[in-house]
Structure 1
Amino acid sequence: MTRFVVTGTDTGIGKTIFSASLARATGTPYWKPVQSGLEEETDSEIVARLAGVPVRPEAYRLVTPASPHIAAEIDGVAIDIERLTPPPGELIVEGAGGALVPVTRRTLYAELFARWQVPVIVCARTSLGTINHSLLTIEALKRRGVPIHGVVFVGDAVEDSEAIIADVSGVRRLGRLPVVAPLTSENLAAAFGANFDIADFR
């Protein structure tokens, strides 16, 4: 069964694009529990456009583009952690920002992942700083007992960085999604097919 959480080492690194590529390749529904920022195309809208899979409504749609904990406070919303439990069945769940982003002032995303016990895919960009960010993210998840399915890289190939992150962390390297331009559903599907083994996600 395809059931994963997609998290990352930072914000804006390509988690949503990878989520869309995985959802499209496997035909798996997508869910973003908390969306912060509604002025631009939301992550759910991006996945719907690129993947063409069922997209479950967000539990919370926050207007302010910020970490969920402060966005909710500014918007006058109280986030109930119980509403963020993933529904059963095949599903790709995308977090927000990095693994240690606060959902509320008392709960980090990594703590939610530990509660859910759904295998996590860590997205890491290949640019400068990724070794430190990736190893810290993986260490934080392991400390909390979060099951890690593997790490996915996004960007241009940097073989040494990709290899050492996998070697030091002991986490499987699943592949690398290159920059896709123009970013269309067809081009994204081709990039996923050329750089990943679909059997790793079944």
Structure 2
Amino acid sequence: MSFAYPTHPKRYFVTGISTDVGKTVAAAVLTQALQADYWKPVQAGGLDHTDTHTVQRLVSNPRSVFHPEAYRLQMPASPHTAAAAEGVRLSLEQIVLPSTQNHLIVEGAGGLMVPLNEQELVLDLIQNLNLEVVLVSRNYLGSINHTLTSAEVLRYRNIPVAGILFNGEPNPSTEEFILNYTKLPALPRLLEETDLNQETVQRYAQTFRTYFTAHDLQ
């Protein structure tokens, strides 16, 4: 399925209920599904193999543009700690959306309450950028609490949420409770994959394209 060049491009901020829940893979699938641009505002650590590099490797469409990070920090730590180690203070005013007429997928660092400086969080960045959220959840002991807390904070801040994306091994009981409680839609899920490559991402992207078209989210 091909997508017409968007008149009103969608812009999603991909955040997670915790670290290591699959934000980067989710961002790659969304980027491929929408043939969107991709942007990681803050990269802390792993500068030789960044999240942008990973998404570039997994995305195969010719339209996506990969925009440079606003901040590239050496230390693999919370952004405020990594920045302080280099004598830098992260400023929301310096984190400006890239100029593009295309759809845009923005990937956060960690979860909503991760600090960017001594006073501001990833949550504040999302609100400042005025973006709709895709919340990535993963089933583990404590994930119900983490998912409900994240959803409640977003609701309190009046930040729109496109839906919850469950990644990994399904747990129907947990997921049903989360969806019933939050009243948020479930986006197509991602499963554990032994071989994550462009073909895998394209397969999931097709499912998301169908979902976006059916729900008029293109």
Q: TM-score, normalised by structure 2?
A: 0.87
Question: Which SS does the other structure have where 2:109 is aligned?
Answer: coil
**Paired residues of 1:38 and 1:63 also in contact (CA < 8 A):** yes
Asked whether the equivalents of residues 44 and 82 of structure 2 are also in contact (C-alpha less than 8 Å), the reply is yes
Which residue of the partner structure matches residue 198 of structure 1? 212
Matched, 1:55 2:70: no
Task: For 1:127 and 1:82, locate their aligned partners in 2 and report how far apart those are by CA, in whole Å.
Answer: 36
Aligned length in residues: 202
Q: Using the TM superposition, name which of 22-31 and 106-115 deviates more.
A: 106-115
State the Cα distance separating 1:26 from its structure 2 match.
1.1
Alignment of 1:1-202 (within 5 A): 1-38=9-46, 41-52=49-60, 53-88=64-99, 89=101, 90-194=103-207, 197-199=211-213, 200=215, 201-202=217-218
Paired residue type of 1:197: Y
CA RMSD of aligned residues (A): 1.6
SS of 1:92's equivalent in the other structure is strand
Contact preservation (8 Å) 1:36, 1:64? yes
Offset at residue 13 of structure 1 (A): 0.8
Displacement of 1:21: 0.8
**How many Å separate the matches in 2 of 1:99 and 1:40?**
25
TM-score by length of 1: 0.93
Q: Are 2:137 and 2:147, in contact at CA under 8 Å, matched by a contact in 1?
A: yes
Query: Deviation digits for residues 98-124 of structure 1, max 9, x if unmatched?
Result: 111011111011112122221101000
**Which stretch shows the higher mean deviation, 15-24 or 46-55?**
46-55
Separation of aligned partners in 2, 1:79 and 1:191: 34
Percent identity, aligned pairs only, is 37
Tell me by how many angstroms 1:194 deviates: 4.4
